Structure 1
Amino acid sequence: MKHDSYVMPDVQSIREAFAEASSFLAAHGVNEPQRSSQLLLEHVLGLSGAAYYMALADPFPAGLKSRWEALVSRRAAGEPVQYITGEQEFYGRAFEVTPEVLIPRPETELLVEAILKYGAQLWPDGMVPARGEAASAGNGAGAPRAARPLTAVDIGAGSGAISVTLAAEAPAWRVCAGDISPGALAVAGRNAQRHGTALDLRLGDLLEPFAGMETDILVSNPPYIPGGDIAGLQREVRDHEPRTALDGGGDGLNPYRRMMEQLPLLPAPPRLVGFELGQGQAEQVADMLRAAGHWDEIITIEDLAGIPRHVLGIARR
């Protein structure tokens, strides 16, 4: 599609600037052009919510014209709004996003919700009792002395959307995040700091950086797009999001197979596992969990469009 730079017509209200840019973006094949236009305007003006709507009748600030034109031109060329503004909201919090990380999706919030729900059922106080030990020695009162905080591990952490949210929502948990990309881990670290959460960040391939670590919850939104399908993705995803965070191998299922193969690196299988996956993959991933035999309950969760999007394994024992 032909791309030319955006030039804003002179003397306009903010509302007219919004309408003009929306039309330009629509003509350049941008999805949700009005949404893009509003997010970019809020970013340029430093306004949001009610303040933005109240400013619509005001004249567009002349000093911001060239910056505004540059941002609209980038969006028209297919660059995602989130990389232009450097932010995406997830679970009610603003996350920094850069081209080093996948942009967090709303459906992943459902995975976080499920992990929080079943984690609270399995460990109501966020503590894991010592194995084979009942009450503390002596008078039988209180918790086992060797109880430890529950440990949740997020594999392929990216921006840290999952791990930072778990740490913020369940402060009693110890949350760890792994990624093969140093750039992604740096973004996750900044997001953890921004939201006042402590993350144990580890660089490496899937479960390898967590070898020997007692892990109670394993959660992952790994790359799951079959390699051959990437060329057909929306240009925003295909040309701008990191390929290592998208490509799941021939059938898109390589990361799930490899995580199952790597489970012996951990002292014991996690009692709660949650995976996000692509369209049409739920049954195969559920079968992998069943075949592993560690979880007595396998649950599939649909996203808001009714597509089976997450598979969880739960060991109630």
Structure 2
Amino acid sequence: MSEVKSIREAFAEASSFLSRSGCNEPQRSAQLLLEHVLGVSGAAYYMALADPFPAAVKEAFEAGVTRRGAGEPVQYIIGEQEFYGRPFEVTPDVLIPRPETELLVEAILRYGAELWPNGVVTPGEAALDSAGGAAARNGGAARPLAAVDIGAGSGAISVTLAAEAPAWRVCAGDISPAALAVAERNALRNGTAVDFRLGDLLEPFAGMETDILVSNPPYIPGEDIAGLQREVRDHEPRTALDGGADGLDPYRRMMEQLTLLPAPPRLIGFELGFGQAEQVAALLAAAGHWTEIITINDLAGIPRHVLGITR
């Protein structure tokens, strides 16, 4: 970096370098890196643009810009990503939370509040069992509804549910011990209580009464991973990306593992990839546990989430 005089000049030079390096959103990346090394954000950042660029942060800023120029996601460089208005630590052990996943959380919160206005499962409440008959969901006593997040990653979904619906009992599982460690730190950071469990998909929750099941599982077809953006392909954990030959293996396995639960959840919600909504909706319909199957588009109009609901 040349001897820039102001923070604005540092931003302009970094943005230009990142653009030439083929980075997506070069200006946003430059701003996030500057905010990180300067310790400011939002309005304070914009107010500081005319200030002299501090020599004390030059080395750290240049190192961050170099890493970003080589394709490393800016969120891994600064170690953080905002989700649903809250800060989340992110490391290469977890996927970087995406804005579209906020829509899944929003839908789960909305339908969860409709089904259980007080966040409580009342005595005698029933759900459909695997044979299509009524199955008592509790032992005759009211209890907090149980929401389970499969594939916790950074904890973005589970921690947000716990923060937004504190009356719920929120649990989350992941096959990666390193990912669970990140999720646990994020739960602590955001002042929430989440029951984290290590294991494959629904296996850690065998025998547990589950009212809500939500998951943003790996859904990229294995052969498509090589064609992903370098930021994703080379830096995000492959185990959180690879969904098998057609990207649908985790959904099929979760449908099969529903038999591990005392009864299917009354509300289930999945995030999925481009072009997968019809197939995932068909999997839920074939299971026969839910009276409604709903598809939700993301902000670009792409079908991104499929929900099953039993009212």
TM range (shorter): over 0.9
Change (3 A) 1:243 1:132: closer
Q: Quick one: which amino acid aligns to residue 242 of structure 2?
A: D
TM-score with structure 1 setting the length: 0.93
Which of 179, 188, 193 pairs up with 1:193? 188
CA distance in structure 2 between the partners assigned to 1:103 and 1:89 by the alignment? 10
Q: Quick one: which amino acid aligns to residue 45 of structure 1?
A: L
Q: Partner residue of 2:266?
A: 271
SS at match of 2:31: helix
User: How many pairs does the alignment contain?
Assistant: 299
How far does residue 132 in structure 1 lie from its aligned partner after superposition?
A: 6.1
Q: Partner residue of 1:104?
A: 97
Structure 2 unaligned segments of length 5 or more: list them.
127-138
Q: Partner residue of 2:119?
A: 126
* Aligned alpha-carbon RMSD (Å): 1.1
Q: Partner residue of 1:258?
A: 253
Which of 205, 208, 212 pairs up with 1:213? 208
SS at match of 1:298: strand
TM-score with structure 2 setting the length: 0.95
How far does residue 65 in structure 1 lie from its aligned partner after superposition?
A: 1.1
Q: Quick one: which amino acid aligns to residue 65 of structure 1?
A: K
Which of 288, 294, 299 pairs up with 1:304? 299
Q: Partner residue of 2:282?
A: 287
SS at match of 2:218: coil
CA distance in structure 2 between the partners assigned to 1:191 and 1:130 by the alignment? 34
CA distance in structure 2 between the partners assigned to 1:121 and 1:54 by the alignment? 44
Q: Among all aligned residue pairs of Structure 1 and Structure 2, give the percentage whose two residues are the same amino acid.
A: 83
Q: Partner residue of 1:140?
A: none
Q: Tell whether the 8 Å contact from 2:124 to 2:140 is kept in structure 1 after alignment.
A: no
How far does residue 58 in structure 1 lie from its aligned partner after superposition?
A: 1.1
- Write out the 4+ residue segments of structure 1 that deviate beyond 2 Å after TM superposition: 130-133
Q: Quick one: which amino acid aligns to residue 201 of structure 1?
A: F
SS at match of 1:212: coil
How far does residue 12 in structure 1 lie from its aligned partner after superposition?
A: 1.8
- 1:7-46 correspondence to structure 2 within 5 Å: 8-46=1-39
SS at match of 2:99: coil
1:229 paired to 2:224: yes
Q: Partner residue of 1:141?
A: none
Q: Partner residue of 2:242?
A: 247
Q: Deviations over 1:10-55 (max 9, x none)?
A: 1421000000000000000001100000000000100111111111
How far does residue 64 in structure 1 lie from its aligned partner after superposition?
A: 1.1
Q: Quick one: which amino acid aligns to residue 28 of structure 1?
A: S
Q: Deviations over 1:156-194 (max 9, x none)?
A: 010000000000000000000000000110111001001
CA distance in structure 1 between the partners assigned to 2:172 and 2:295 by the alignment? 24
Structure 1 unaligned segments of length 5 or more: list them.
1-7, 134-143
